[in-house]
Amino acid sequence: MINDLAAREDGPVRVSGWVEKVRDQRHVQFVVLRDESGAVQLVNGGVLREPDPENPRSDILVPRTRTISELTHGTFVTVGGELQHNERVKLGGVEIQIDEISVVTAALPDNPVADDSGIDVRLDWRFLDLRRPEQNLVFRIQTTFLHALRQVWVDRGLIEIQTPKLMASASESRAELFEVEYFEGKAFLAQSPQFFKQMAQAAGFGGIFEVGPAFRADPSFTSRHATEFTSIDMEISWVDSHVDVMDLHEELMVAGISAVEEKHGEEIQKLFGVELAVPSRPFPRIPLAEAKEIVKAEGYEIPRADADMDPEGERRIAAHVKQKYGYDFVFLTDYAASIRPFYHMRHEGDASLTNSYDLIYHGVEISTGAQREHRIEVLEAQAVEKGMDPAELGFYLDFFRYGVPPHGGFGMGLNRVLMLMLGQSSIRETTYLFRGPNRLLP
């Protein structure tokens, strides 16, 4: 691999990759070759031309020189040559003097993706867009981040599960559901693994996590919404309140960002201009009602008093926390029962509030968490209060008829976290293949 070359001694090497740039000069040719690990400069020097036997006053290009001159951007080649360390070479301090070059697969001369191409063109040709170093880095960061989270979960004894994405009924409500044909009947694509996460608590798993797809039939065209996204989910037993869930959520975020900063911090600074900051614990925690009063005092009032914090409110409370406490994260807690699902546990002594939270990162909500209601009679009453028919929730409510411990958890959007971590303008940049209301290809 190209990123291994700097550690090798001078001598014969063989590399393969995509042609990124060709520079033809009178007595030398330069090629920038890139593989998934990095880029290296190739040099074809010495005799580039040989006498033309049919025309002594002229000469012809030697075959290797002609091959290099005709290379198109994106052509995949294999090169053999002499590795040389050279401090004057900006690209890694090494270069390869070409002895032989062979074209494995040639690229068409007209590349459909240019440096100034818009996001829609780049998504149309996503496999070409993903060759860019910054896009390659996004998914190496994703791998590092998820590995760090898994390490925390595994060290704590949690079990990884994979829940079904085809459901017989809605997981939370019938809003924003994709309905699909299923043999002689209908099925729904899962909005979240919520009910199945809670089933694991009734099953005695004690704690579970999942990283998998979720689907929302939401016709939004914002920078942070998708119709299919990767959801990071966790559910744990034996909680005293949602504070236990927040504590573990903090631990996970610190572990994930620490791992990314340690492994990729320099590259992130170079390619994205972002200096990644590892947060300390605990994160600031502000009740939702208090957060609304803070942004109101600073000049912005949430349009509806009984509503969730809207995007502008999220940005403003995040700016307040950043200025006052120096944090990029803030937990908004104690959401009103009127704007939370029926299965969120209510405050003891104040049924108008729930043991729940949203986690805000760089001014955008990335996660919702809560303690769940585990008492069957309370669950049924709260479902009816929300206008739901308990009969349609039969399989879910059965979990609580045979003994289930107090539990809680969260769901978090992976692509949104990466977008905010890297200062990107849209989750389209941090999703391998984006799906939205008007995009099902590639």
375 annotated as ligand-binding: no
Using alpha carbons, list the distances in angstroms from residue 340 to 54, 304, 306, 354, 388. Answer: 86, 15, 11, 8, 14
Helix (H) or strand (E) holding 437: none
Residue owning tokens 């590892």: 278
Q: Which amino acid is at 340?
A: R
Q: Which two tokens stand for residue 123?
A: 């998504």
210 annotated as ligand-binding: no
122 annotated as ligand-binding: no
131 annotated as ligand-binding: no
Nearest to 314 by CA among 369, 375, 359, 272: 359
Spatial separation of the C-alpha atoms in residues 255 and 134, rounded to whole Å: 23
Spatial separation of the C-alpha atoms in residues 234 and 243, rounded to whole Å: 14
439 annotated as ligand-binding: no
- Are 221 and 202 within 8 A, CB to CB? no
- Are 399 and 232 within 8 A, CB to CB? no
Spatial separation of the C-alpha atoms in residues 208 and 265, rounded to whole Å: 30
Spatial separation of the C-alpha atoms in residues 102 and 82, rounded to whole Å: 16
Nearest to 366 by CA among 375, 358, 356: 358
- Are 248 and 236 within 8 A, CB to CB? yes
Helices (H), 203-297: 242-272, 288-297
250 annotated as ligand-binding: no
Spatial separation of the C-alpha atoms in residues 434 and 123, rounded to whole Å: 8
Q: Which two tokens stand for residue 15?
A: 């590399």
Q: What angle do CA 107, 109, 112 make, to 5 degrees?
A: 90
346 annotated as ligand-binding: no
Which residues are paired to 84 by β-bridges? 95
Residues marked as binding for ATP? Answer: 365, 413-416
Residues marked as binding? Answer: 172, 216, 365, 368, 372, 413-416
Residues marked as binding for L-aspartate? Answer: 172, 216, 368, 372
